[in-house]
Structure 1
Amino acid sequence: MLYVLVALFGMLGAVCRYLISVLIPNHGFPVATLLINLVGCFLLAVIMKYLARLPKFSPMLITAMGTGFVGSFTTFSTFSVESIQMIEKQWYGFAALYIVISLIGGLLASRLGFYLSDRWMARKEAPHVH
């Protein structure tokens, strides 16, 4: 069953990635890939830090969402190829900007996902006063 869920979520992630790349065409600077990877970093952090702690999400579903959806949604290989293509065109500034934003932005997006997950969990666990 896990393989089926990972495959289904993988198909969904791949389709979402494709749709974003169609909606945001690449005109030299790979905005779509950058956005996809930053959103993926945030989503994976929320899945692993928040959703995984909720009883209604089984470990199998967490794996399917993380590995299947986020794994097929994000793309390190495209990031790498696009970086090299910009370097080969001697667009060194754009290449450096893309690499720095991708790396630092990915870490910041993950950190934001962790931070918000902790806030949401604290709010969920706080006693409700009426």
Structure 2
Amino acid sequence: MDRSELALVALGGFAGATLRYAVSVAIPGAGGTLAVNVLGSFALGTFVTSVSSRRAQLFFGTGLLSSLTTYSTFAVQTASLSPVGGALNVGANYALGFAAAALGLAFGGRR
């Protein structure tokens, strides 16, 4: 990876993390995490099927969308919920995330 590719990943990562923070302010707690994970799953599904540029893949896929979505925050928030709330959070994240990714793949014209 050359410096320009590293810069693309870093800039995309900065943008995605900033967007995730903005969503967490607007929608605090597990709801905000669910929103970014579902949105990111749809966007990545669409993106991987419709964009072939390596530079765009680095900026959007590896950088922005990977830092927008978050597994670690999802895990910590889930662990802090009641057993029923945790189970619902896991179910919602996985079911909606997979559904959003499938819709994104279809929307992007799965290759």
TM-score (norm 1): 0.78
Runs of 4+ in 1 over 6 A off after TM superposition: none
Select the structure that is richer in helix. Answer: 2
Give the drift of 1:94.
1.3
Structure 2 runs not aligned, ≥5 long: none
- Aligned counterpart, 2:23: 20
Structure 1 runs not aligned, ≥5 long: 53-57, 122-130
CA distance in structure 2 between the partners assigned to 1:24 and 1:77 by the alignment: 17
Give the letter for the 2:109 counterpart: D
TM-score (norm 2): 0.91
Residues 1-130 of structure 1: pairs in structure 2 closer than 5 A: 1-26=4-29, 30-52=30-52, 58-86=53-81, 91-118=82-109
CA distance in structure 1 between the partners assigned to 2:9 and 2:94 by the alignment: 26
- Aligned counterpart, 1:124: none
Taking every aligned residue pair, what percent have the same amino acid on both sides? 34
CA distance in structure 2 between the partners assigned to 1:12 and 1:93 by the alignment: 34
CA distance in structure 2 between the partners assigned to 1:61 and 1:116 by the alignment: 18
Give the drift of 1:51.
2.2
Aligned length: 108
Deviation sequence 1:15-44 (CA, Å, 0-9, x none): 000001011123xxx100001001011111
Give the drift of 1:13.
0.4
Decide which structure has the larger Cα Rg and report it.
1
Q: CA RMSD of the aligned region, Å?
A: 1.5
CA distance in structure 2 between the partners assigned to 1:103 and 1:24 by the alignment: 19
Give the drift of 1:71.
1.0
